[in-house]
Structure 1
Amino acid sequence: MNTDSEEREDEMLALHSIFGAEEEFVRKEPSAAGEIRVSVELPAGFTVSLTEGETVRQYEILFLPPLLLTFELPEDYPSSSPPSFTLTSSWLTRSQLSALGSQLADLYQATGGAVVLFSWVQFLREDALGFLDIRDRLDLSSVDCKSNHPPFVESDGTGREDFLKEGDVAASSSSSGELDLSGQGAASLPLLLRQSPQSKHRTVPGDVSPTPSQALLSELLIYDAAQRQRAFANTVFDCGVCFVGWLGSECVQLHECGHVFCQSCLSEFCKMQITEGNIRGVSCPEASCESCPTPAQVQSLVGEELFGRYDRLLLQSTLDLMPDVTYCPRRTCGSPVILEKSGTAGLCSVCGFAFCVACKKTYHGAEGCRPKGSLKELIEMDAHEDNLDLPQSQEGLTALSDDYLSGSEQRRSLLQSRYGRRVMKIFLPDILSEDWIVSNSKSCPHCYTKIEKNGGCNKMTCSRCRQNFCWLCLTRLTGRDYSGHFQDSACSIFQYDF
């Protein structure tokens, strides 16, 4: 084996050792040839942009599709002849590739007959953008002036370069396909830009095909998103709940805030909130962060059954905050009904029940509604009309309920015969429930939902509309710094008498 042969073999083994583990290098046996996929290093804040008329679309990216360097080493390489190579890219122009090809040839001449492939890779990876004067932005606006295949330059290493014709590119293995989302292939324009001769001039009414620059922009963004996800999956993160380090493949990152949690912790957190009906609580577990996971993330975390409940409760919560929506008063229906501004009539589109929006009874036309009052007052009115002597005090009603609930079957029958079965089983519990709610709760100053305070400080958050307010004076608290209210008023945040 001569010296050239030994150096070629050593170089191929070195390339396989350096790049083979990441599948960036593929050797073509048995000849001294192969392919190297070179991912260009991008500076911080690098963007791709596309100008369409007066509109400029600009996106920050971290990854560009790799350059494909296909090479073959002659018998007298490296002592006398340079490698023959082709260079392929979907996002560089032919003139830019030509400049890179000439620079690769110059790098070989500068070595004085030494192996050069690793130096080529280093140059393409670290210095190619600077050499082409691409600093922090790649402008795709001129792509529409190019042909619809990847720029492709071929060289025998002497500085003589040839651009392949369209037919040659189609037959070349280096223009073989679509974007490889795994990062293991040279990128070309998407298949949607390729047409068979039969369909080349065929148009579909209303079908607007993207321009080459639009297609390339889409390709670059898809590749960047896939590589970001790949990098995330291989990075270790500390969960913000259990504070244990996890691989990104076992974590979830919230898109709005970027906070990362392990799947187990975030799954249990979301399941607990949905099970308890606290839909607004399905948010970022990080303190003071109001970001929420996407519906797709929630579905993957809690499963189909709980996600169905989440979806229903989220819709109901949204409808509850809409002033022009009420619900069908039929207990067997309860469907949402959109109110008409012109009158008090409501018509359920599900069960067909026509009702009065004011009193929730069957629609009574122009006649006035039944006198308004509390549930207790209405029930007592019914009892008076039926000549029933229900106790008038809270203590008396409570004693009557306790007597009924703890009494024997004979005692219950006696009470039912005296006051009526409907009063003892339905009306009396409703009266006591209303009295308890009045005595033990206050209304949210924003949406008027009844809220019970069973401990903690006097800074409250409504579970329905998420309004912050003071429990003592019901003042709405705005902003994250609510301490000023408790310092500048008679209210104390640590006063527990309620």
Structure 2
Amino acid sequence: MSTQDQEAQVDELLALTSIYSDTEFKRNNAAPGGEIQLCLELPADFEISIKSNSATNSSADNFENTVSFLPPIVLNFELPPGYPSTTPPNFTLSCKWLTPTQLSLLCQRLDDLWEENSGCVVIFPWIQFLKEETLDYLNIKSPYEIDVSSNGLQSWMQTTEKTCEDGVSLEKAPYDKRAIQDVQSVPALVRCILDFNEAQQKKVFDSKLFLCNICFMEKLGSECTHFKACEHVYCNYCLKDYFEIQIKDGQVHALNCPEPKCPSVATPAQVKDLVGEQLFSRYDRLLLQSSLDLMADIAYCPRLTCQTPVLKEQKSAMCICSACQYAFCIYCKRAFHGISYCRVTPAQLIELAREYLDADKKGKIELEKRYGPLKKIAEDIQNKEWIQENSKPCPSCKAPIEKIEGCNKMTCSGCKQNFCWLCLKVLSQENPYQHFDDPTECFNRLHVRN
């Protein structure tokens, strides 16, 4: 190798190292060369679809989405002793979403660029072409469709007539051994595209400044949380305090975007990143419990030391806890009692009787199956309530007295005691009307309605 070639190679590799980050350019320490990853700039709202040509094609094998980034084109190169004076770099091109035919065309274009720049370093012109002109050169526009053959690799031949910028038919382009296609299957390709797009979007988000509408301070995206459904952004410090208060209060369904009336909800991953492992465990437990509470076929083991969720048996009042094997009644939560009625306290019986009165015919039948005859009890309670609302007790014998008509001087039909309906004071037997003439009593209120 001439000294001039050696110096040119060293300078070019040093320039690449200084321009590109460690994730973009990896220098080969064993030989002069390296690997550079080139992420293309896509048009806005770039649509991509993947169609499988396999015999067992199903909807799961097809994919359509709008992306902002696609996995990079990878240029792997090695600088031979005669470079750049006489010999071009040895290289391979690989990409997950370009067909081998398309990659072969790009390899041919890199050879042409070497011929045009013969005797000069060429890695930078290659990089510039691949990064800025690949889409136009291969005539790739949105929506872009990738065909995948039955063996899982992208098809070399497209189903429609396509040409590159130079007018060369893609169908007729020869396959170049330097073109490497390493996709195993449609799911693998889809997963790779989605993961890379999400990672790059986060990278861009982390580097931007956003105004938090809680503390009204500008923060880098790396210090913020992004609600994707509504596009609202808040700083992690404010959201952490907000979520911690909600979780401690048991409001696990209120971990939504703080923007007024915004329905966007934080993902479990976002909650975990903000509040930490311990508080997230409480959130996860309460969220599960609240979800189970909404399920009609779930009951909890009534033992305080257990409380395991139990799936209710169909057409049976018995549940058996899978954790402690306790068999219990789903209605009264006591030990299962077979065909016997559920035992209830007097207070519970009164509530059940009121529920029975308000229930429809089907509801009344169900209640009597569980708790026995409730009709007589409900009628007794209804009568007692009516008596309490429409009568007053005799001040002498406490018998309930109903006033239908007449004056306020009453006589108990049981003990024959005279009394005032208004104040329930016992009146004299000789002159009961004197009470209504006394200014200190119910003066002039003999015929007043109460």
TM normalised by structure 1 equals: 0.53
1:133 deviates by 1.9
Given candidates 268, 275, 300, the residue that maps to 2:241 is 268
Secondary structure of the equivalent of 2:243?
helix
2:214 maps to what in 1?
241
Structure 2 partner of 1:472: none
2:224 corresponds to 1:223: no
Shift of 1:348: 4.4
Counterpart in the other structure of 2:75: 68
- Which of 241, 248, 253 is the equivalent residue of 2:226? 253
CA contact (8 A) 1:49 1:59 kept: no
Q: 1:366 to 1:42 in 2, by over 3 A?
A: same
Matched, 1:321 2:294: yes
Q: Aligned residue for 1:120?
A: 126
Q: Would you say the 8 A contact 1:24–1:36 is kept in 2?
A: yes
* Alpha-carbon contact 1:87-1:97 (below 8 Å) kept: no
Classify the secondary structure of the residue corresponding to 2:149. helix
Separation in 2, partners of 1:345, 1:3: 91
Please name the residue that 1:385 is paired with: none
Matched, 1:50 2:56: no
Q: Which residue of 1 aligns with 2:279?
A: 306
**Inter-partner Cα distance in structure 2 for 1:29 and 1:346:** 69
Q: Structure 1 stretches of 5 or more lacking a match?
A: 149-160, 176-187, 191-210, 379-498
Q: Show the counterpart of 2:102.
A: 96
CA-to-aligned-CA distance 1:111-164 (integer Å, 9 cap, x gap): 68665443322211111122112223250413837699xxxxxxxxxxxx9944
Paired position in structure 2 for 1:462: none
Structure 1 Cα separation of the partners of residues 208 and 276 of structure 2: 26
Residue 88 of structure 1: CA displacement?
1.4
Percent identity among equivalent residues?
37
Which whole-Å CA distance do the structure 2 matches of 1:234 and 1:362 have between them? 62
- Between stretches 224-233 and 317-326, larger displacement belongs to 224-233
Q: Select 2:148's aligned residue among 141, 144, 149.
A: 141
* Local SS of the residue matching 1:144: coil
Amino acid at match of 1:302: V
How far off is 1:345 after superposition? 4.3
Residues 234-255 of structure 1: CA deviation (Å, up to 9, x unaligned): 3333335333333333333345
Q: Does 1:291 align with 2:264?
A: yes
Match of residue 87, structure 1, among 69, 83, 92 = 92
For residues 71 and 359 of structure 1, do their structure 2 counterparts lie closer, same or farther at Cα, with a shift above 3 Å needed? closer
What CA distance in whole angstroms lies between the structure 2 residues aligned with 1:3 and 1:346? 87
The amino acid across from 2:51 in the alignment is L
Q: Is the 8 A contact 2:79 2:89 kept in 1?
A: yes
What residue is the counterpart of 1:189 in the other structure? 182
Name the CA distance, whole Å, in 2 between partners of 1:259 and 1:267.
16
Q: How far off its partner does 1:89 sit?
A: 0.7
* SS, match of residue 310 in structure 1: helix
Shift of 1:219: 3.6
Alpha-carbon displacement from aligned partner over 1:16-66 (angstroms, at most 9, x marks no partner): 54x334654456689975554322222232425132525322243313223
Tell me how far apart the structure 2 counterparts of residues 30 and 320 of structure 1 sit (CA, whole Å). Answer: 63
1:425 counterpart residue number? none
| Greater C-alpha radius of gyration | 2
TM-score for the superposition, normalised by structure 2: 0.57
Cα distance in 1, alignment partners of residues 42 and 346 from structure 2 = 71
Report how many residues are paired.
Answer: 323
For residues 29 and 334 of structure 1, the distance between their equivalents in structure 2, rounded to whole angstroms, comes to 62
TM-superposed CA distance for 1:273, in Å, is: 1.0
Whether contact under 8 Å (2:50, 2:186) holds in the other structure is no
Q: What is the CA-CA distance between 1:376 and the residue it aligns to?
A: 10
The 1:115–1:369 alpha-carbon spacing in structure 2 relative to 1, beyond 3 Å, is: closer
Distance 1:114 1:226 in 2: 36
CA contact (8 A) 2:74 2:93 kept: yes
Q: Secondary structure at the match of 2:262?
A: coil
Does structure 2 conserve the Cα–Cα contact (< 8 Å) formed by 1:239 and 1:245?
yes
Q: Contact 2:327–2:335 at 8 Å: present in 1 too?
A: yes
CA change 1:351–1:36 in 2 (3 A) is closer
Distance of aligned partners of 1:242 and 1:2 in 2 relative to their CA distance in 1, 3 Å threshold: same
Match of 2:135 in 1: 129
Q: Deviations over 1:387-427 (max 9, x none)?
A: xxxxxxxxxxxxxxxxxxxxxxxxxxxxxxxxxxxxxxxxx
Q: Secondary structure of 1:288's partner?
A: coil
* CA shift in 2, pair 1:88/1:116, >3 Å: closer
1:342 paired residue among 306, 315, 323: 315
CA distance in 2, matches of 1:366, 1:63: 67
Q: Which amino acid aligns with 1:83?
A: P
Matches within 5 A, 1:395-406: none
Distance 2:287 2:188 in 1: 37
Post-superposition Cα deviations, 1:151-181, rounded to whole Å, max 9, x if no partner, equal xxxxxxxxxx9944xxxx8xxxx98xxxxxx
Deviations 1:283-338 (A, max 9, x none): 33232233333333333332333223222222221122122333444555544444
The 1:35–1:369 alpha-carbon spacing in structure 2 relative to 1, beyond 3 Å, is closer
Cα contact 1:63–1:227 (8 A) shared by 2? no
The question of whether the paired residues in 2 share the 8 Å contact of 1:283 and 1:293 is answered with: yes
Deviation at 1:276, TM superposition (A): 0.7
Q: CA separation in 2, counterparts of 1:2 and 1:341?
A: 88
Task: Provide the secondary structure at the position in 1 that maps to 2:272.
Answer: helix
Amino acid at match of 2:216: F
Q: Which amino acid aligns with 2:182?
A: L
Rounded Cα–Cα distance in structure 2 between residues aligned with 1:340 and 1:4? 83
- Give the counterpart letter for 1:276 in structure 2: D
Q: Secondary structure of 2:281's match? A: helix
